[in-house]
Structure 1
Amino acid sequence: MKVLVTGGAGLVGMALRRHLQAAGHSVLATDITDFSRHDPDLFLADLNDHARLEQMVVEGEVQAIVHAGGISGPLMQREFPRSVMRINVDSTVFLLDLARRHRIGRLMLMSSHVVYGHSDKVVVSEEDAVHPGTTYAASKVAGEALVESFAREFGISAAALRLTRVYGPHRRANCYLRQAIEDSFVGRTTIIPCDPSFPYHFLSVEDVAGATLAALAAEKLDHSTYNVGSGEVLTMDAVRNIILAVVPGARIELVEGRDPAPEVQNDFSLRRMAEDAGWRPQYPLSAGFANYYRRALADGKVMQ
């Protein structure tokens, strides 16, 4: 299969490229920058460069699109809400229309668990109402609505994956796990402000790639949204213990405070992905973080 990956230089995009290629797929990856990595397999193109993207789709005979590009978290460009909406929503509708006009077999949108906002549910499922609390979350809700509308109106095969907190190599945005590894390399104590009872849902980027490949390979996707998580709910104290068990000499201090993305979600149902795509998470935090640390140790730094 020939797959176009947007956001190909990002956390999710880099892992997707590796997994797709390992599975024998041909990958066309694009991003606005390669972050000075001198990446010869990355096509530099802005998401607003519609002519360039369409040329890539046509000339590359693209059969599927994974849209992992755009503003990738609620803390990024927070002071520019119109820009967040313009970039995320416009790029999604353009790529959906490309899929419609060029009869591309499947489109996957990387969405986020933040669409749910604060939830009192014991287990959050895709059937629950969304209550976006940030412009970023609203942009993902809009993208999901477009995915569903294009599927209904034009019959294209498309779905959105609602990812929980993704970690792994090439993460550039704020991440306590990345910070702990970086601090360990220089003998610094990692200070983490948190509420002791706040639930965290860390998701290995390897599981994101696995879920995406499973969704691309599924004969039919019966739904337009899918939760993708690790299946774990952890307090920050439990996260600290996992870090300390993996990283020799790590020092972690938890102080009173709250997470920058404070909406509470207790647990997530992963049944849809299991039933429709046969996917289940493979990396609890203990395994996923150990892999992350080994890669950073081998490279001598946290890859960004």
Structure 2
Amino acid sequence: MILVTGGLGMIGAHTARALADGGQRVVVTSHRRTEVPSFLTDRVIVETLDTTDRDAFLGLAERHMITDIVHLAGSAPDADPVVFFRAELAGLLNALDAARAWQVRRFAVASSLGVYLGRPEIPWQEDLALPSAELPHLIIAFKKAVEPLTTHALQGTGVQPVILRIGSVWGPLVDPESPFFHLPPYVSAALRGDQPGSVYADDGFDCCYAPDAGRAIAMLIMTETLRYDTYNVSSGRRATNREVAEALRAVLPDARLDLVPGRRDDAGDDPYLDITRLTEDTGFRPAFDLPAAVADYVAWRADHPR
């Protein structure tokens, strides 16, 4: 059985679905969220768990024979950074304790494309040395620390670490007004009939539809042999605001969209994640291009608030 912490969140839920689609038995944990997405109903076991509670975490083994862990649980930053870091670190260390105590095969943990900030090379590849750079958010700072903490904690244990450098993911279950990625609120405004804020047509960004991200992570768990400990998880291509607007107009012909010609600035290309390593080791290829993702999300939102 595969454990997915944070399994009712956007990325966790889509990972759980992909694992179930692959014939795996899945148990997901959630702390505050209780609503099970329709695509997971009767397909997974749900456990309420505060990952900072070590005894409760390790107690999962009394009810489930867990063979792999995907640790995606996380919290929103507190006003006090130390409070946030303490909670995130406790959850990570408890998950690592569980992985070692249960002798699971693989321990996958969420990192972020933000760890590459400061590298000028485009696209970002896993073999780039991570730079010392000022990071824009506490979450990225912690994700950057997660990587060495995980690999060192699992050295010599027989548990394979899988660092997931996850790109800009959106889709069903995303926060419609996400402060971290402009695409969800942009699309949400169009769905409400409002005019989204102006964007530069040719500005680009990393972009991955949530079902594809979940499937990629599931494949990194289910694939028999992985050659590396670190994988980029995204679509492997740069998207632009122009492409988003064209995809929206195809399904919402009356959408009022203001595109400013050109780019905000001309200082180089837009960063995105290279997924060659992921594709070569698992065979993963995105099932959704941007028009298909936008159409699928608009259809989803017709019956769901997020």
Summarize the Cα distance change of 1:80–1:286 in structure 2 as closer, same or farther, 3 Å threshold. Answer: farther
TM-score norm. by structure 2 comes to 0.84
**Do residues 32 (structure 1) and 35 (structure 2) align?**
no
Distance (whole Å) between structure 2 residues aligned to residue 19 and residue 37 of structure 1: 15
Matched position secondary structure for 1:210: helix
Please, which moves more after superposition, 157-166 or 271-280? 271-280
Give 1:22's aligned amino acid. Answer: D
Match of 2:185 among 179, 187, 190: 179
Give 2:244's aligned amino acid. Answer: V
Q: Give the conservation status (yes or no) of the 8 Å contact 1:157–1:221.
A: no
Deviation at 1:87, TM superposition (A): 2.8
Q: Give the conservation status (yes or no) of the 8 Å contact 1:214–1:277.
A: yes
Could you report, residue by residue, the CA deviation over 1:78-113 in whole angstroms, capped at 9, with x for unpaired residues?
743223322333322221221112111111112210
**Do residues 247 (structure 1) and 252 (structure 2) align?**
yes
Could you report, residue by residue, the CA deviation over 1:256-281 in whole angstroms, capped at 9, with x for unpaired residues?
9x99xxxx852322121122222222
Match of 1:68 among 58, 67, 72: 72
Could you tell me which residue of structure 1 aligns to residue 61 of structure 2?
Answer: 57
Match of 1:167 among 167, 170, 191: 170
Distance (whole Å) between structure 2 residues aligned to residue 158 and residue 230 of structure 1: 22
Give 1:48's aligned amino acid. Answer: T
Matched position secondary structure for 1:70: coil
Deviation at 1:11, TM superposition (A): 0.6
Q: Give the conservation status (yes or no) of the 8 Å contact 1:184–1:249.
A: no
Matched position secondary structure for 1:4: strand
Could you tell me which residue of structure 2 aligns to residue 212 of structure 1?
Answer: 217
Could you tell me which residue of structure 1 aligns to residue 138 of structure 2?
Answer: 135
Q: Give the conservation status (yes or no) of the 8 Å contact 1:228–1:270.
A: yes
Matched position secondary structure for 1:126: coil
Matched position secondary structure for 1:154: coil
Q: Give the conservation status (yes or no) of the 8 Å contact 1:30–1:45.
A: yes
Give 1:108's aligned amino acid. Answer: A
Q: Give the conservation status (yes or no) of the 8 Å contact 2:52–2:94.
A: no
Deviation at 1:117, TM superposition (A): 1.0
Deviation at 1:66, TM superposition (A): 0.8
Summarize the Cα distance change of 1:242–1:185 in structure 2 as closer, same or farther, 3 Å threshold. Answer: closer
Deviation at 1:136, TM superposition (A): 1.6
Give 1:235's aligned amino acid. Answer: T
Please list every run of 5 or more consecutive structure 2 residues that lacks an aligned counterpart in the other structure.
Answer: none
Deviation at 1:286, TM superposition (A): 1.6
Give 1:32's aligned amino acid. Answer: H
**Do residues 46 (structure 1) and 50 (structure 2) align?**
yes
Summarize the Cα distance change of 1:32–1:268 in structure 2 as closer, same or farther, 3 Å threshold. Answer: same
Matched position secondary structure for 2:122: coil
Summarize the Cα distance change of 1:286–1:47 in structure 2 as closer, same or farther, 3 Å threshold. Answer: same
Deviation at 1:25, TM superposition (A): 1.6
**Do residues 7 (structure 1) and 11 (structure 2) align?**
no
Please, which moves more after superposition, 86-95 or 162-171? 86-95
Could you tell me which residue of structure 1 aligns to residue 19 of structure 2?
Answer: 20
Summarize the Cα distance change of 1:87–1:240 in structure 2 as closer, same or farther, 3 Å threshold. Answer: farther
Distance (whole Å) between structure 2 residues aligned to residue 23 and residue 223 of structure 1: 22
Summarize the Cα distance change of 1:199–1:57 in structure 2 as closer, same or farther, 3 Å threshold. Answer: farther
Give 2:5's aligned amino acid. Answer: T
Match of 1:150 among 147, 150, 153: 153
Match of 1:221 among 220, 223, 226: 226
Could you tell me which residue of structure 1 aligns to residue 281 of structure 2?
Answer: 276
Could you report, residue by residue, the CA deviation over 1:143-177 in whole angstroms, capped at 9, with x for unpaired residues?
11122223433231121111111001111233544
Please, which moves more after superposition, 203-212 or 228-237? 228-237
Q: Give the conservation status (yes or no) of the 8 Å contact 2:217–2:233.
A: no
Matched position secondary structure for 2:296: helix
Could you tell me which residue of structure 1 aligns to residue 84 of structure 2?
Answer: 84
Runs of 4+ in 1 over 4 A off after TM superposition: 35-41, 194-197
Give 2:140's aligned amino acid. Answer: A
Could you report, residue by residue, the CA deviation over 1:171-199 in whole angstroms, capped at 9, with x for unpaired residues?
1233544334433443211114x455543
Q: Give the conservation status (yes or no) of the 8 Å contact 1:125–1:269.
A: yes
Q: Give the conservation status (yes or no) of the 8 Å contact 2:165–2:232.
A: yes
